[in-house]
Chain A
Amino acid sequence: MLIRIVASTALCLVSCVTAFSARAADETPPLPHQEWSFDGVFGTYDRASAQRGFQVYKEVCSACHPVKHLYFRNLSDLGYSDDEVKAIAASYQVTNEQPNDQGEMYQRPGRPSDRIPGPFPNDQAARVANNGALPPDLSMIVKARDGGPDYVYGLLTGYKEPPPGFNMLQGMQYDVYFPGHQIAMPPPLSDGAVTFADGTPATVPQMAHDVVTFLTWAAEPNLEPRHRTGFKVTLFLIVVAGLFYAAKRKIWAAAH
Chain B
Amino acid sequence: MADLAHSNAGGAHPGETRRDFLILTATAIGGVGVAASIWPFIDSLNPSRDTLALSTTEVDLAPVQPGQRLTVAWRGKPVFIDHRTPEEIKAAQDVDVSSLRDPQSDAARVKKPDWLVIVGVCTHLGCIPLGQKTGDDRGPYGGWFCPCHGSVYDTSGRIRQGPAPQNLIVPPYDFTGDTTIKIG
Contact = CB atoms under 8 A, between A and B. Distances in A.
Given A71-B50, A112-B53, A250-B15, A240 B22 contact: no
Contact of B30 (A111, A113, A240): A240
Contacts of A71: 50, 53
Given A71-B53, A112-B53, A113-B53, A250 B19 contact: yes
B8 interface: no
B25 interface: yes
Contacts of A73: 49, 53
A231 interface: no
B35 to A, nearest CB: 12
Size bin of chain B's contact surface: 10 to 19
Size bin of chain A's contact surface: 10 to 19
Contacts of A247: 19, 22-23, 26
B29 A243 contact: yes
Interface string A103-139: 0000000011100000000000000000000000000
Nearest to B40: A229
Contacts of A240: 26, 29-30, 33
Contacts of B23: 247, 250-251
Interface of B: 5, 15, 18-19, 22-23, 25-26, 29-30, 33, 49-50, 53-54, 56
15 contacts: A71-B53, A73-B49, A113-B50, A113-B53, A236-B29, A237-B33, A240-B33, A243-B22, A243-B26, A244-B26, A247-B26, A250-B15, A250-B22, A251-B23, A253-B15
Interface of A: 71, 73, 111-113, 236-237, 239-240, 243-244, 246-247, 250-251, 253-254
Q: 10 tightest CB-CB pairs across the interface, nearest first?
A: A113-B53, A250-B19, A243-B26, A247-B22, A247-B26, A247-B23, A244-B26, A73-B53, A113-B54, A246-B22
